[in-house]
Structure 1
């Protein structure tokens, strides 16, 4: 069945049509003709109705929605294909974060999303003990920005270093350059668990510095369990710490391990 606009476009004043007015559509920019016509068929045959021809806003809206859906799918694919994320974090969102004593950290994370601007890049630096929710908040930020149309990647740094090492294998189908380029081109990169690999010198630290350094001037999020003193232990770690602190807002999250809190909560409920 033809759309009503197609029917109208085929009608002329020979069908008792009358041009009421013409105007330029602000949406599509086309000249639109408003017609008063008599219904020629169907149960309302003989009744008068108004229609318009020339406007393409409906078509443009269909195209816009299709482009938006394609962009959303592309951003999700970028996140899924390039992120190195633990299974336990894949469902993390702001909504299922239990703030406890870290309500302020949650608010700062949400504020970071609200104020995110590629023209004014800022970083967040989550530092604190194990299991306090640093990674959870970082994943939540990455997902929220993805929903706003930004390309984001979440990277467990130990997994990143392992993945880069594997590219040196002659049978590897993935090259180091492809990994580095994906990280460089993202709107936001989360570097999670920096220092968890346990090597504070040598190849791993040098490579991590190279990756972080090429993100200079772009928005990043860093999470670490290391203290400032541990970063100052070697010159290589000092260089990484210096890069991480550039234009970064520190958020300290020292407290009880989330898993331990859940265990203690369950123990109390079973008493």
Structure 2
């Protein structure tokens, strides 16, 4: 211990004594300036003299914790902008909200579960996997959840799987401003990620090993949303082998991780796009 530290320790008891003398009438009770709850000083001894420090109120600890979380989210958002200029989604999903979702026969349960999931998102430990026919609103519902969480200050990302694979492949080109590592790391770091349209097209070894696997592995313990047109059996076959018949996830371990970390929801609605097209055809 150096001379300055010794001098500081010697000064602390004197300071504590002077503080205590002014608080004798209050028996060492103070009031938090934030929540107005009473806080009692601690009765300690330092270098043989009474030392009565004032503990930090729990509300102050919570305020500092929230500040730190907000700073971490902003840092994740900054890194996110480096890898993605914006979320990758189809244009018709940009304005998709839970509030403007059209409830049709077969979509009631999926809509209700999406709304409940959003309300309990902070407490939930699970993501959500929604499957069903093409065009029935799965992507709309997951985008609605992602939008609300983003508006609440969380770092979120909505990625269309086919477009993500193109972006990842382009990152390998010489002169690319973003690396594959940046893309994967940002997808792993966000508070809530939506991977839309998994199961579209035939999976390649590069897509499985260099994109999908590191994202799923890196997001363990974090909440992820998934949409797919495939039922669970067909989705398992999609993971099983690539377009050339080479086995990728023969034991189903990756799919098992996804399903184990998600609430599974079936959207039983029919295709709204097809119904709208038929109405236009009929005038």
Question: TM-score of the superposition, structure 1-length normalised?
Answer: 0.66
Q: Where does 1:4-153 land on structure 2 (aligned, <5 Å)?
A: 26=33, 81-101=85-105, 102-117=107-122, 120-153=124-157
CA offsets per residue over residues 70-121 of structure 1, 9 Å max, x none? Answer: x89x96995873411111110100121112021221111111111112x642
| RMSD over equivalenced CA pairs, Å | 2.8
Which of 172, 175, 181 matches 1:171? 175
Distance 1:210 1:191 in 2: 13
CA offsets per residue over residues 125-166 of structure 1, 9 Å max, x none? Answer: 111110010100011000111122211100111111111111
Q: CA offset at residue 239 of structure 1?
A: 3.4
Distance 1:211 1:75 in 2: 17
Q: CA offset at residue 205 of structure 1?
A: 2.0
Q: Find the residue that maps to 1:100 and give its secondary structure.
A: coil
Flag the 1:236–1:106 CA change in 2: closer, same or farther, 3 A.
same
Distance 2:162 2:171 in 1: 15
Q: Where does 1:232-251 land on structure 2 (aligned, <5 Å)?
A: 232-233=236-237, 234=240, 236-237=248-249, 238-251=252-265
Flag the 1:262–1:75 CA change in 2: closer, same or farther, 3 A.
farther
- In structure 1, the residue matched to 2:12 is none
Q: Find the residue that maps to 1:262 and give its secondary structure.
A: helix
Distance 1:193 1:144 in 2: 20
- In structure 2, the residue matched to 1:3 is none
CA offsets per residue over residues 15-66 of structure 1, 9 Å max, x none? Answer: xxxxxxxxx994599xxxxxxxxxxxxxxxxxxxxxxxxxxxxxxxxxxxxx
Distance 1:25 1:226 in 2: 56
Flag the 1:76–1:263 CA change in 2: closer, same or farther, 3 A.
farther
Question: TM-score of the superposition, structure 2-length normalised?
Answer: 0.64
Q: Is the 8 A contact 2:79 2:186 kept in 1?
A: no
Distance 1:210 1:204 in 2: 10
Structure 2: gaps of 5 or more residues: 1-30, 37-69, 241-246
Q: Is the 8 A contact 2:184 2:214 kept in 1?
A: no
1:220 aligns with 2:224: yes
Q: Is the 8 A contact 2:160 2:195 kept in 1?
A: yes
CA offsets per residue over residues 173-199 of structure 1, 9 Å max, x none? Answer: 111111112112110000100121x12
> Which structure's residues are more often helix, by fraction?
2
Distance 2:142 2:149 in 1: 11
Distance 1:99 1:77 in 2: 37
Aligned length: 203
Q: Find the residue that maps to 2:102 and give its secondary structure.
A: coil
Flag the 1:170–1:201 CA change in 2: closer, same or farther, 3 A.
closer
Q: Find the residue that maps to 1:108 and give its secondary structure.
A: helix
- In structure 2, the residue matched to 1:206 is 209
Flag the 1:90–1:221 CA change in 2: closer, same or farther, 3 A.
same
Distance 2:101 2:124 in 1: 28
